[in-house]
Amino acid sequence: MSLPTVAVSIGDPNGIGLEIALKAHREINAVCRPLYCTDRSLVHAAARLLELEVPDDFETIPVQQAWRLDPGRVTASAGRYSYRSFLKAVELTEAGRSDAVVTLPIHKEAWSLAGIGYKGHTDMLRDYFKRDAIMMLGCSELYVALYTEHIPLASVPGTIRREPLTRFLLDLYRSTGFDEIVVLGLNPHAGDNGVIGDEEREITAAIAAANRIVADEIRCNGRPFFGPVVPDTAFTPQFRRKHRHIAAMYHDQGLAPLKALYFDKSVNISLNLPIIRTSVDHGTAFDIAYRGGAKTESYLEAVKTAVAFFEASH
């Protein structure tokens, strides 16, 4: 039986993406056929700086975008290159030449300098496919889905409304099939019945509406959503022993504890899309770029997760 094909977006060339791809290739090649969306000349230039060999079976798909290596620096040219690499990986997968996309880290400021109007991969996918893509991060021990992502914290309370939150919960359920999803409150103590904030009223209404729809339309036994749960207790060891799937209201509410617990293992998964996309759950690490110390664990987990999602769907 042939291995699935995975299109790998190489990330910001000034960061640790190329080092990770080169160092992990042998292990990745054992679970899938990787297609690296990058130009071979760039791979060899990066390998020389890293004093690494380029494997003979390191298969590249040309991006055909001008490049210049400036290790550890934020540049517009690197932003353009990483975007073109990502777009190529998406196009390959949409066309059926690849079974999934795995992304290495981009730098948001570099995209901005290059005039790219997206804050990250998920924003681009949402616009490209005209679907409400959901960002979920984690590993088998704990998954955290984000209701809001890269928006200012001051803007989050205004997004907490019953109808969009209900849609988010239902899309999350349909994309994962999780039989239980913990929904966090927004405020300390989950609002203390309105004493500290009243956003939890909207969250409670969304949970009730989503559970009704699951029961009536999807015809699933049980009520998969419960909460709003007090945010500062949801990541304790006692709670995590029973509950592994969490919906957080904003970025740092979910990701700060997740990364404290599973930084090297967790991956980023884009849900509610017509393609499979996973990513490393770390940044470009410019401070260690081209110094030989980049870790590959998150990348390996991202590829294995993409393969598992593909095999589960076939």
Do 102 and 122 reside in the same domain of the chain?
yes
Are 266 and 289 members of one domain?
no
**Residue 215 pLDDT:** 87
Shared domain check, 1 and 127: yes
Q: How many CB atoms lie within 10 A of CB 151?
A: 13
pTM, to two decimals: 0.87
* pLDDT value for 3: 95
* 78 and 8 co-located in one domain: yes
Per residue in 24-55, pLDDT (tens digit) is 999 999 999 999 999 999 999 999 999 999 99
What is the structure's pLDDT at 230?
96
174 & 267 share domain: yes
3-state secondary structure of 20: helix
| 270 touches 133 (CB < 8 A) | yes
The enclosing domain of 94 has a CATH number of 3.40.718.10
Q: What is the pLDDT of residue 135?
A: 94
Q: What is the residue range of 50's domain?
A: 1-131+273-314
Examine the domain organization and report whether 51 and 122 are in the same domain.
Answer: yes
| Contact status, residue 50 vs residue 83, Cβ threshold 8 Å | no
Same-domain check for residues 8 and 72: yes
Structural domains counted in the chain = 2
Q: Are residues 124 and 5 in the same domain?
A: yes
One domain for residues 65 and 147: no
29 with 123, same domain: the answer is: yes
Whether residue 92 is found in the same domain as residue 160? no
- Where the chain has pLDDT below 50, the residues are none
pLDDT of the residue at 95:
97
Using one digit for the tens of pLDDT, what is the confidence trace for 236-285?
999 999 999 999 999 999 999 999 999 888 899 999 999 999 999 889 99
Residues 147 and 257 in one domain: yes
